[in-house]
């Protein structure tokens, strides 16, 4: 690209002529390309951010599922001595339910699997 003032060869994306210092008029095309590049970059960043967020939520949900799979729901004062899964109606309907950290521990305490959820 040539400077319109001094006609010397200058870099095509320069804002000022490096020889005479004249401001180079940036054509609308160049502006458009620059704007599109900025928008494109922002969209990519948002997409990457969404991916990270989704992956994080997925990982968290998976961790929660692992927790509930390995854990046993116990109902205090429950004479039946059953342990439950998270979705069991018996466990969902009680206010005295709590989680024991794993099924093996529940078995050691003499709990048996609830016939409704196991």
Shortest Å distance, C-beta 11 to Zn ion:
12
Task: Pick between residue 55 and residue 109 the one whose CB is nearest to Zn ion.
Answer: 109
Task: Pick between residue 41 and residue 92 the one whose CB is nearest to Zn ion.
Answer: 92
23 three-class SS = strand
The contact set with Zn ion (CB under 5 A) reads 3, 5-6, 17, 19-20, 22, 84, 88, 90, 114, 116-117
DSSP annotation of 15: S
In angstroms, rounded to a whole number, what is the distance separating the alpha carbons of residues 5 and 16?
A: 11
Q: What are the C-alpha distances in Å from 87 to residues 7, 13, 83, 99, 100?
A: 79, 63, 12, 13, 15
Shortest Å distance, C-beta 35 to Zn ion:
26
Task: Pick between residue 1 and residue 39 the one whose CB is nearest to Zn ion.
Answer: 1
Shortest Å distance, C-beta 2 to Zn ion:
8
* Joined tokens for residue 77: 């004062």
């Amino acid at each position: 690209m040539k400077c319109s003032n001094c006609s010397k060869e200058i870099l095509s994306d320069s804002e000022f002529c490096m020889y005479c210092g004249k401001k180079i008029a940036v054509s609308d095309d160049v502006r458009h390309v620059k704007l599109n590049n900025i928008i494109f970059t922002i969209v990519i960043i948002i997409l990457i951010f969404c991916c990270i967020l989704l992956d994080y939520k997925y990982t968290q949900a998976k961790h929660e599922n692992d927790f509930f799979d390995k854990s046993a729901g116990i109902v205090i004062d429950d004479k039946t001595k059953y342990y439950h899964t998270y979705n069991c109606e018996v466990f969902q309907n009680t206010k005295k339910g709590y989680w024991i950290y794993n099924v093996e521990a529940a078995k050691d305490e003499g709990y048996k699997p609830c016939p409704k959820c196991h």
